[in-house]
């Protein structure tokens, strides 16, 4: 896998996770989704947590960019980049 592909996939993972967890989205679709499942169970809490979302969002992206024996490593690395970007953003 090329480094540029991984960087783009990591940024896409971060962006998608952040959209679902923090933003309204077009026609308030993400807000409606979060409101439909308030944080009373694991699914609702997971929709409000960017770190939780990045774990699940990274799966299809990792499978798309790297379908081999290293896919689980790519999956975890994509999620880890999202966590690192979130921590960096919160410290600023």
pLDDT score of 27: 92
In the chain, where the domains are located: 3-91
- pLDDT beneath 70: ranges in the chain: 1
Query: What values do phi and psi take at 85, rounded to 5?
Result: -65, -40
pLDDT score of 13: 95
pLDDT score of 41: 78
State whether residue 20 is helix, strand or coil.
helix
Q: Where are the beta strands (DSSP E) in 1-92?
A: none
pLDDT score of 42: 78
Cα distances from 66 to residues 2, 34, 37, in angstroms, run 10, 30, 32
Record the pTM.
Answer: 0.86
pLDDT score of 89: 84
pLDDT score of 44: 78
């Amino acid at each position: 896998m090329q480094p540029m592909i991984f960087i783009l996939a990591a940024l896409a993972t971060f962006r998608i996770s952040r959209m679902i967890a923090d933003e309204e989205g077009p026609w308030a679709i993400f807000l409606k989704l979060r409101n439909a499942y308030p944080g009373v169970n694991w699914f609702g809490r997971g929709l409000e947590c960017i770190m939780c979302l990045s774990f699940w969002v990274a799966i299809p992206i990792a499978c798309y960019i790297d379908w081999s024996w290293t896919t689980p490593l790519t999956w975890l690395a994509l999620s880890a980049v999202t966590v690192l970007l979130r921590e960096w953003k919160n410290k600023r």
